Amino acid sequence: MEAMRILLVDDVHLERMQLAMRLQRLGHIVEAVSSGHEAIERYPLFDPDLLLLDISMPNMSGMEVAHKIRSDHLEWVPIIFLSGHDEPEMIAKAIDMGGDDYLVKPVNKIVLASKLKAMQRIAAMRHQLKQATVKLEEVNELLSQQVNEDGLTQIANRRFLDKKLAEFISWHGRHELSLTIIMIDVDHFKDYNDYYGHLDGDRCLQLVSGALKTNFSRAGELAARYGGEEFVILVSNCDKTRAVKECERLKSSINGLAIPHFQSATSNIVTVSQGMVSWVPTGLETAENMYQIVDKVLYKAKEQGRNRFVVAEFT
C-alpha cells in the first residue's frame, strides 16, 4: 500500500518525536506539530490522509481541534485520538466529537501497525474516489459544454442564449441598468453558399463567429449563434451610446476578415447587417419579444443596403 500523509499532534515533545519516528519507520510521511492551533494552520497545507490527535493539550484540546477541522473542511479525513485515558465515557465522547478511532498511550506497536493498515485501505479508497470525482466533473463539464455550445461555430447555441437573455433581462431590470442586444446576419449568405459550396460556407461562419467571440468575450458579454447565418450578441450594462460604438467595432472587425464574396451585391468581401436595441429592462420582457424587436431593425438594415446597423427606438 502507498504511504500515508499523517499529521501528528501532541504537545509532549518526547512522545511526539518517538511516535513520529515509528510512523516514519512504517513508511509514512509525517508532519508533527505541538499544538491545536498549529494543527489547524498546517492541516490544509499538508493535506493529510490521517490525523493522529492527542486529546489532552493546553489552550486547545484535541476534541476542539477535531470539531474545528470537521466544521471548516468538507472533505472527510480519518481522525484517531491519542490519550492516556481508556475510560469508555472518554472514548464515546471522542467519537461524538468527530473522531473515527481511539488509541491509548503509550501506543502498542502491534496495535498501531494494525490501525495504520486499516487507515491505508481507507486512504486508498479516498484517493480512488477523488480521482473518480475529478473524472466525473470533467465529463459533466464536457456534457455541459456540448449542451450549451453550437457544434459548428464553437460559441453559445440558441438554447444557452435564450437562458442567458432571460437572466440578463431579470438582473438588469432589478438593478435598473441598460442592456444591449445586437442581432447579426451575414449578408447574401445563400449566394455565398451556392457559389463557394457548403464547406466554405461553414468555414465562413466559423470565421465570423470567431471574430464575434474575440470581440465579445469580456465578463457580461455573450456571443451566440441564433440560427443559420444569424448571430446574437448580449452586452451587459451597456447604454445606447456605447452600443453604437460596439456595432461600429463589430462591423470593422468583420470587414477586417476580408473573406472574399464575389457574388455579394453589397461588397466583394463578406459583410454583416446588424439590428441593435439598448434599453433598461422592466424585468417583465421575454426573450421572444426582444428577438422580435431586434429582428425588425435588422430587417431595416438589410433594406437600407446591408453592411450597416440600425438602432431600435425602444422606450
Structure confidence at residue 84 (pLDDT): 85
Residue 6 DSSP class: E
Compute the distance between CA of residue 309 and CA of residue 301 in angstroms, rounded to an integer.
Answer: 6
Structure confidence at residue 203 (pLDDT): 97
The answer to whether 192 and 261 are in contact (CB under 8 A) is: yes
Structure confidence at residue 132 (pLDDT): 72
Does the pTM exceed 0.85?
no
Q: Which residues of the chain have pLDDT under 70?
A: 1, 133, 136, 138-146, 314-315
Question: How far from chain centre, in Å, is Cα 43?
Answer: 25
How many other CB atoms sit within 10 Å of the CB of residue 229?
20
Q: How do beta strands 272-279 and 309-311 pair?
A: parallel
Structure confidence at residue 145 (pLDDT): 60
Q: What is the pLDDT of residues 275-310, one digit of tens each?
A: 999 999 998 899 999 999 999 999 999 999 999 999
Cell for 182? 445586437
Q: Dihedral sign, CA of 106, 66, 48, 17?
A: negative
Cell for 85? 485515558
Structure confidence at residue 120 (pLDDT): 86
How many other CB atoms sit within 10 Å of the CB of residue 254?
24
Q: What is the pLDDT of residues 174-220, one digit of tens each?
A: 999 999 999 999 999 999 999 999 999 999 999 999 999 999 999 99
Cell for 226? 441564433
Domains of the chain (ranges plus CATH)? 5-137 (3.40.50.2300), 158-311 (3.30.70.270)
Structure confidence at residue 229 (pLDDT): 97
3-state class percentages of the chain: helix first, strand second, coil last, to nearest 5: 50, 20, 30
Structure confidence at residue 166 (pLDDT): 94
Cell for 60? 486547545
Cell for 234? 448580449
Nearest C-alpha neighbor of 180 from the set 293, 272, 284:
293
Structure confidence at residue 165 (pLDDT): 96
The answer to whether 135 and 129 are in contact (CB under 8 A) is: no
Structure confidence at residue 191 (pLDDT): 96
Compute the distance between CA of residue 105 and CA of residue 112 in angstroms, rounded to an integer.
Answer: 11
Structure confidence at residue 142 (pLDDT): 62
